[in-house]
């Protein structure tokens, strides 16, 4: 969502830089005051996506107009996320409300994609007794059809990610067309 918000901002470069600054502030708030490492990591992953990081004019404008946000991102937030991902974060966070679980989720997701074997917690055996149509909304298959359509949900995870990556890249190139070598 964060990447789509940033790439969907078709206003001026200054407006995109302001949105980028607000996104950086959101990441800092999630990390420091709310202790939401899961949300923090998700926002940071959006900021580090190639489709976002390639927007040179936007980042330059951020550094010019919102210097404190650019410094916060480069000097504090990025190193903190790297250390957290590498398991090197030694600071004990007493106010953590949601832990950083992306590495674990990545491992679990990779295992499912390779083996296509459902884990015990994914079975529909466990749950609350509800009407069938309400219960269906909470099933993974329904969510997949909702997000990717019937045909897309039947494809592989890699295909879905590749399609989403292409959409984000197209949005990114629309905002700032790639520099051709002949223009250099």
Task: Indicate the number of domains in the chain.
Answer: 1
Mean pLDDT across 55-66 = 96
Measured between its terminal Cα atoms, the distance across the chain in Å is: 33
* Cα Rg of the chain, angstroms: 19
Give me the pLDDT at residue 120, please: 41
Burial of 184 (0-12, 13-18, 19+ CB in 10 A): exposed
* CA–CA distance, 31 with 49 (Å, rounded to integer): 19
pLDDT for residue 77 is more than 90: yes
What CATH number did the domain enclosing 84 receive? 1.10.840.10
Q: Of 31-35, 98-102, 106-110, give the range with the top mean pLDDT.
A: 31-35
Instruction: Enumerate residues 6+ apart whose C-beta is below 8 A from 64.
Output: none
Of 109 and 52, the structure prediction assigns the larger pLDDT to 52
Share of the chain above pLDDT 90, in %: 38
Mean pLDDT, range 14-18, rounded to an integer: 96
Q: What angle do CA 80, 83, 84 make, to 5 degrees?
A: 85
Phi and psi dihedrals of 98, rounded to 5?
A: -130, 120
In the prediction, which pLDDT does 12 show? 93
**Highest-pLDDT range among 16-20, 93-97, 141-145:** 16-20
Query: Domain of 124?
Result: 2-183
pTM: 0.63
User: To the nearest whole percent, how much of the chain has pLDDT over 70?
Assistant: 74
Contact 6, 20 (CB under 8 A): yes
Residue 124: predicted pLDDT: 44
């Amino acid at each position: 969502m964060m990447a789509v918000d940033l790439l969907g901002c078709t206003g001026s470069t200054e407006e995109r830089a302001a949105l980028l600054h607000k996104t950086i502030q959101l990441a800092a708030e999630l990390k420091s005051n709310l202790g939401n490492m899961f949300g923090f990591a998700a926002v940071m992953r959006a900021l580090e996506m190639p489709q976002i990081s390639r927007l040179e004019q936007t980042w330059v404008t951020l550094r010019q107009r919102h210097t404190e946000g650019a410094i916060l991102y480069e000097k504090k937030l990025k190193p903190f996320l790297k250390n957290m991902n590498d398991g090197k974060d030694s600071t004990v966070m007493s106010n953590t409300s949601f832990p950083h679980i992306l590495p674990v989720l990545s491992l679990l997701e990779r295992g499912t994609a390779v083996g296509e074997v459902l884990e015990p917690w994914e079975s529909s055996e466990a749950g609350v007794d509800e009407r069938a149509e309400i219960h269906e909304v909470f099933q993974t298959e329904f969510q997949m059809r909702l997000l990717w359509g019937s045909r897309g949900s039947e494809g592989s995870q890699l295909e879905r990610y590749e399609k989403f990556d292409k959409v984000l890249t197209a949005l990114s190139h629309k905002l700032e067309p790639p520099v051709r070598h002949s223009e250099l």
